[in-house]
Structures are given as C-alpha cells and as structure tokens.
Structure 1
Amino acid sequence: MNVTVRARTGDVQTIAVELEAAEVTDYLRGFYLMTAQQAGLHPEPGLTSKQLVERECNLDEVGRAASETVAVRATPAVLDRAGIDAVGAPDYGCHGYAQEGQPFAFDLTIVPKPQMELTSYDPVEVPHQTHEVTEEEVDAFLAQVAAVRNLSELGTPEQLRQRAREDLQAEADERTRAYQRFIAADALASRLTNPVPDAVFAAHYAEITQDFRASLAEQEMTEEDYLRERGLQADELKHRLMSQAREQLRQGLALDALARHENLKLTTAELKEFLASMSEGRPDELLHTLKEQGGLRKVEETALRAKTNDWLVRTARVA
C-alpha cells in the first residue's frame, strides 16, 4: 500500500492511495463471497464466487460496487498509515475498476478531526447522586423472574433476594456513573473556545444518519415505519439526529483537549481491557486484527476518551 497525503484544501484533506495487486485480490475475494451469499447464489462445481456473481448480476454495477468496497475496506489502514483522524465517512474517487491480480488506485477525501482548546481546564462540577435499591424493587424484580422461572430452582428465598439486590444495585451504580460521565463531559464541552466547524459537523451528521438508516435496514424497518411507531415527524427525527451529532462532537473534542492538556495516555493494558469488552474476552486477537487491517487509531481514540471521561469524573467537584 502506497499512501500520499496531498496538500490540505480548506476543511478537507485528500489522500492518494495505490494498493498492491495482492491486497486488491484479498479484498475482492471477500467482496464476491459476501455478494454471492447475499444474492442467494449457491456454489457450483468449477465456478468461483466471482464467476457466479458476474454471471447473475450487471457487470457495471458489480464493478462499481467491488471498487468502492475495496476502497472502503482499505480506508482504516490508509488512515492509520497516514496518521490522520477523520470525522465522518470519506468520499472516494476510484481510478477505474478494481481487478484481481492488478494494482488499484483511488483518492480518499476526508474531513480531518480538528484540535480544539478549552477556556479552562479546572475541575468540572457534577451532582451528588446515589440510588439505594429498595425492597420493593427487589420484590418487583423477583416477580418478573418468577413469571418465567421456578424460583425454587435458583436457591433459597434469602439467596435469591441477596443476589437480586446485588444485581440491581450494580445496575443502579452503573447508571449513576454513566449519568455523571455525561454531565461531566457536557460541562467540559461548554468550555470549548470555538464552535465545531460546519464541515466537521456536516461530516459527522451524515455518518450518524447513514448508520441510523443502516440500523433500520437490518431490522427490516423503513424510516416511515420508525416515525409512525414513535409518533414523530420527519423534522423531529432530523432535529434529534442533529442534536446527537452536535453533542457527540462537542464532548469528544473537549475530552481530546483535556487529554492533551493533562498528557493522559493509554497504556497497553488499558487498551487491551477496552478491547476485551469488544471481543468477548479476546483482546490480543482483536488487537492483531486492527494492526493488520487498520482501525487501531479509531479504537485508541474511543478508549482514550473513555479514560479521560472517567478521570474527569474522579477529579470533579461534587455538588
């Protein structure tokens, strides 16, 4: 993979990429296999997935989809190689169609993540909040369990109540921590010296809108179905997504600024602990995949923001 970072133009950065023939072949094999499966094409003796897809589908459409897929799958490795953090989904300009056994070139146009500063790095203030689980909550929880299980099979009444109390308290404590993390990050974000640049907001909003629609598609639900079920108008949904995009950006960029100011770093152990929560306890395997296929910078960003948010809460003034 050859990566050339071109001169930045305004709010966007263009990266020229040339993939080696072996890299292109690996990406395309995965594309054709997945496309054949999604199209319900059954394996036939003597035919590859590529041949099956090309026989049954429009060649121009397949060529465009294959080329874009190669570019999309290569992008995390490209950004890691270039050392650039991007906001939102990139735009792609492919030079011809990707072909097995041949190099493939494309341009990647991104909106780089800005570095922003805060008016103050003093501790923020978070409200004092605790919740002690009541016996009524334990009763209600056990009643729900009893509706689907025979409680006598799960232990004595005393054991059940103690276990339920501990589980409910753990959930309540985590809700409190999540609330304090949000309040602390929101307070920190109010100290940004400048508003989020329009291009950065537009890129992130486009990405979360795309992710939202993809989530609906996985549930076989249309946007109209979603609006009808929740009694929303299209403008209300757009406003909610815009608010979500704005808050995610403000809080994330504020946490980045605090991490730089306090020189907070992510240790290998902390990174693996974060990866363990994403990989069903196989952090080393996931770390190897991220290093090989790209995407490590993005995961490190998320993990460091989480660490910084926890640090922010620990050092906060409790009202």
Structure 2
Amino acid sequence: MKVETVRTKDGKVELAAELSKKEVAKEMRRIAESEIARYNYRLGINDDDPVEFLRKHLGYDEASFVFDEGIMRHRTPFALTAVEIDVIGKPVYKCLEHASADKPFTFHLVCVPVPDFELESYDPVSLTLPTQQVKSAEIEEEIQKMAQASAVAVTDRSHEIVFKGDKVELAMETTKDGKKVKPLCTDGREYNTGALAMPDDFDAAIIGMKVGETKSFTFEGPELELGPDGKPIMEKYQTTVTVKRIIDMQPPELDDAWAKTTMPDVKSMGDLRKKIEEKLVAKREDEYNRRAQALASNELAKRLKGDIPDLIYGVAVKEAREQLTSKLREENISLDDYLKKEGVEKDQLNNVLLMQVRGQLTRQFALNAYAKHLGLTVEEPDLEAFFESIAPGKAWQASMDFKQEGRMYAARCAALRLKASKDAVANANINTQGTNAS
C-alpha cells in the first residue's frame, strides 16, 4: 500500500492510500469470508468464490459498499502507521469509485494529528505516595483466607434445629405438575440458609426443621423466561425435604503439615509467610508504580502551555460518546439507566465527557512534550512494557493484535508516554505516607 500526504489544513491532514490489485483482491476475499461467517450464510456447491457469493446474496450495489467500507476501515490504521501519524479520534475516509479486484483502489482519509505542546517547566515533580511496606497483619489475614478456603465439612452437633445462616445437607425430591424436576432431586446437597440461593418460602420452610426431620411443602420459583409484562413467570413446585445434618466448616490446623499443601516449594509456615509476603510486595509495587505514574502525569499536565484547540476537543468528545454508546450496547444498558446510575442529567453528559476528555488529553500532550524535551525513544523493552500494562500476562497476544490491526505506530506513541511517566517518577521528589507498624 502506498500512502502520501495530500494536504494539511486547519489542523487536519488528508492522506491518499492506494492498494495494489493483489492487495484489493486479498481484502475483498477477507471481507466476504468475514461477512459469510458473521451471518452464517450457507454457500452452495458451486459457490467457490466468497466474493461473488456475497454479491449474489446482497446485490452488487450493496456488496460494493460493504467492500469499500471494509477495506477503508481495515487499512486506515496501516496508512497512519506508514506515515507515522498519531491521531485524535477516528479518521474520516472516503473513496471516489468502488473497489474492484482487477484494478488498484485509492481512498482518502482526513485525520486530526496529535499537536505538539511545551511545558512551563521540566523540573522534577513532587509526589506524595503511600508506603509499599507489607504489614505482618496483612500476611496473617491472607493465611486466614487460605485456611477458610481449605476448610472441610464436618457434622455440627452443637444444635439440632436449623437456624438462619446454617449450612445443611439436604435430601430432596421435587416435582412440578406431577413431573420430577431432576436438578432439584438429590440424596445429599449442601445448602446455605439465608444465602438467597433458593426462593424465600423454601428458605423459610428449612429454617426451624430438626436434623432427621422430613417435611413436604410447596414453594414458588421463577422460570427462565419473562412474562409479557417483563417480570419473571412464577411456577409452583412440590418438594419433600429431609435435613440429614447441620454442617460446620472446620479450618485446618495452621501448622507445617498444612503449609506444605498450599504452594509448591513451601515446607513450613515460615516458608508460607515468606511466599505470601513476596506476593503482596509484588502486588503493592505494581499498585504503587501505577499510582505514581498517574500522579506524575497529572502533575506534568498542570504545566501544559497554551490552549487545546476546539477541534481537538470536538473530535475527542465525539469518539468518547461513540465508545460509551458501544459499551452500553454491549452491556445491554440503556442510556437512561446509565445516567441514573451515574447521577447525571442527559444535558450534562457532554460536560462530563468533556471533563474526562480534557484530563486525558492534557496528560497525553504533557507526556509527549516531556518525552520530546528529554529525547526519549522507544526500544523493544518499552513496547513489551506497554503491552504488558494493557494486557497483564498476555503481552504477546496484545502485540500480535496491534500488528494485525496495523496499529503499531499508535502502540509506539503510547509506549513512549508510558516511558515518559516512568522517567518522571524515577526523577520525582517523593514523600512517602505510612509507617512500618505491624
């Protein structure tokens, strides 16, 4: 793909990207196969060419627009990487003629590049951060959590009547309309009263029963489907329940023998405490570093010289709104429900997004200015650190995703900002809060 700058005007850059015939054919086949898989279309015996199949299925005109849109959307990040432009928001792309596998395809994209700024000062920032030290009480708390997790069920003989909060073993036989309900039939199932695992009337019937007692009763429970009014459909169940025993979860004795069962290479409680401390220290250091980098970025942002153009704000707010809409759609949450949850009126949403965007942009531009002033550059370890920061434990996969999507220049820019924030922390005047008290 060839990419060249057509013009630069009013804070925007227009690029022209040209794909060869071979690249166009490859893109069209990729798009066709993706659309066929997405909508589960069935190819006939003679439909060997997915491109022609999609044209027949959608019609030539509609398929042409699908191919154009798919090519431009997919290739835009590659075009930006080719000319090394870091942008604000999503570029706008267009083409003058439809893509065809028998000739090159050219499209134009208009983008808003990240502007250059300066800082009022590049002196070290001052930060106040919590201590990284791990208290002995925190280690003991972790040990107690591990002990509770490995507790074993024993019969509780301290009382025979079931109270709310008791864990019990039940035998039960349940029917609905005279037919057995297999998931609710068992010779022995553990059940926690008061835990809302079953309907209230079932729970109420169990509480007060004695060990060994058998009781038959009816309770109501919701079906999986909702009724016309949007509320759960309630069904009646008939059940016969026997309380076999009351259960007490008995934690293990905290000794060397138990410690050996918890982690590899642990032979004593002393080893276990050391391992837990190492784990907590690593977690605390990660939290400390992230907080320190965020605070350093905020401090640098306060030093940004000049005003951010309205064009930048407009493009960034538009993208923020689109991302919010997409997120709400994925989570199946209405905008009204979201606003109610956040305590924001509909006409205030733009102001909220603008405040969020302003903070994000000033930090981004300040880190860029800091990195440029110091002459920082991105090396392979810096890229690896960036991918690890956005996908802990899956940095390699994140790297592959960025490469496949053509976003490597954007990744390098983000990696440079991360490196700048780390440098700002390394050279900061840090005041540590907290003590070494156990």
Same fold by TM-score greater than 0.5? yes
Candidates 345, 356, 359, aligned match of 1:247: 359
Change (3 A) 1:204 1:270: same
- Kindly indicate whether the alpha-carbon contact (under 8 Å) linking 2:386 and 2:414 is maintained by their aligned counterparts in 1: no
The structure-2 alpha-carbon separation of the partners of 1:97 and 1:296, relative to structure 1 and needing over 3 Å to count, comes to same
CA 1:192–1:171 in 2, change beyond 3 Å: closer, same or farther? same
Task: Quickly say closer, same or farther: Cα 1:236–1:79, change in 2 above 3 A.
Answer: same
Are 1:15 and 1:107, in contact at CA under 8 Å, matched by a contact in 2? yes
Task: Assess if the C-alpha contact under 8 Å between 2:19 and 2:105 holds in 1.
Answer: yes
**1:3-82 matched pairs, under 5 angstroms:** 3-47=3-47, 48-57=49-58, 59-82=60-83
Match of 1:195 in 2: 307
Q: Secondary structure at the match of 1:6?
A: strand
Indicate whether 1:178 and 2:266 are aligned: no
Equivalent residue for 2:327, pick from 212, 215, 220: 215
Whichever residue aligns with residue 197 of structure 1, its letter is P
1:286 aligns with 2:394: no
Larger helix share, 1 or 2: 1
Q: 2: distance between equivalents of 1:52 and 1:142?
A: 62
Count of aligned pairs: 317
CA 1:24–1:258 in structure 2 vs 1: closer, same or farther (change >3 Å)?
same
Q: 1:104 to 1:246 in 2, by over 3 A?
A: same
Query: How many Å separate the matches in 2 of 1:176 and 1:170?
Result: 10
Is the deviation greater in 42-51 or in 108-117?
42-51
CA gap of 1:29–1:234, structure 2 versus 1, over 3 A, is: farther
The one-letter code of the counterpart of 1:198 is: D
Which stretches in structure 1 are left out of the alignment for 5+ residues? none
Matching residue of 1:309: 421
Show the counterpart of 1:122.
Answer: 123
Structure 1 residue 183: Cα displacement: 1.4
- Rounded Cα–Cα distance in structure 2 between residues aligned with 1:44 and 1:159: 65
Partner SS, residue 9 of structure 2: coil
Alignment partners' CA distance in 2, 1:120 and 1:318:
18
**TM-score normalised to the size of structure 2?**
0.64
Shift in CA distance, 146/78, structure 1 to aligned 2, threshold 3 Å: same
What is the CA–CA distance in structure 1 between the aligned matches of 2:30 and 2:315, rounded to whole Å?
Answer: 28
Distance 2:411 2:381 in 1: 14
Q: 1:162 to 1:43 in 2, by over 3 A?
A: farther
Query: 2:17 is paired with a residue of what secondary structure?
Result: strand
Shift of 1:73: 1.2
Would the aligned equivalents of 1:68 and 1:94 in 2 still touch at CA under 8 Å?
A: no
Identity fraction in percent: 26
Contact 2:129 2:288 in 1 (8 A): no
**RMSD (Å), alpha carbons:** 3.1
Runs of 4+ in 1 over 6 A off after TM superposition: none
**Is the contact between residue 387 and residue 399 of structure 2 (CA under 8 Å) also seen in structure 1?**
no
Secondary structure at 1:7 match in 2: strand
Cα deviation 1:165-215 (Å, max 9, x = unaligned):
433333233222222211111111111111211111222222232223223
- Structure 1 residues 311 and 146: alpha-carbon distance in aligned structure 2, compared to 1, 3 A threshold: same
Q: Does the C-alpha gap of structure 1 residues 75 and 125 become closer, same or farther in structure 2, counting only changes over 3 Å?
A: same
Equivalents in 1 of 2:323, 2:398: separation in Å? 28
Looking at structure 2, the residues matched to 32 and 76 of structure 1 have their Cα atoms a distance apart, in angstroms, of 20
AA at the equivalent of 2:359: E
Q: Which deviates further from its counterpart, 13-22 or 38-47?
A: 38-47
> Aligned equivalents of 2:38 and 2:424: distance in 1?
45
Q: Which whole-Å deviations, capped at 9, do the CAs of 1:224-270 have from their partners, x for residues lacking one?
A: 44334555433454433322211111111111111111111112343
- Assess if the C-alpha contact under 8 Å between 2:11 and 2:112 holds in 1: yes
Moved more, 219-228 or 83-92: 219-228
User: Could you tell me which of 226, 230, 235 is aligned with 2:338?
Assistant: 226
Higher RCO structure (Cα 8 Å, ≥6 apart) = 1
Output the amino acid matched with 1:299: A
Secondary structure of 2:106 counterpart: strand
Q: Aligned-pair distance for 1:39? A: 1.5
Aligned to 2:262: 154
In 1, Cα distance between equivalents of 2:308 and 2:44: 54
Query: Which residue, out of 240, 264, 270, partners 2:382?
Result: 270
Alpha-carbon spacing, 1:227–1:284, altered in 2? closer, same or farther (3 Å): closer
* 3-state SS of paired residue (1:173): helix
**SS of residue matched to 2:7:** coil
Whichever of the two has the greater Rg, that structure is 2
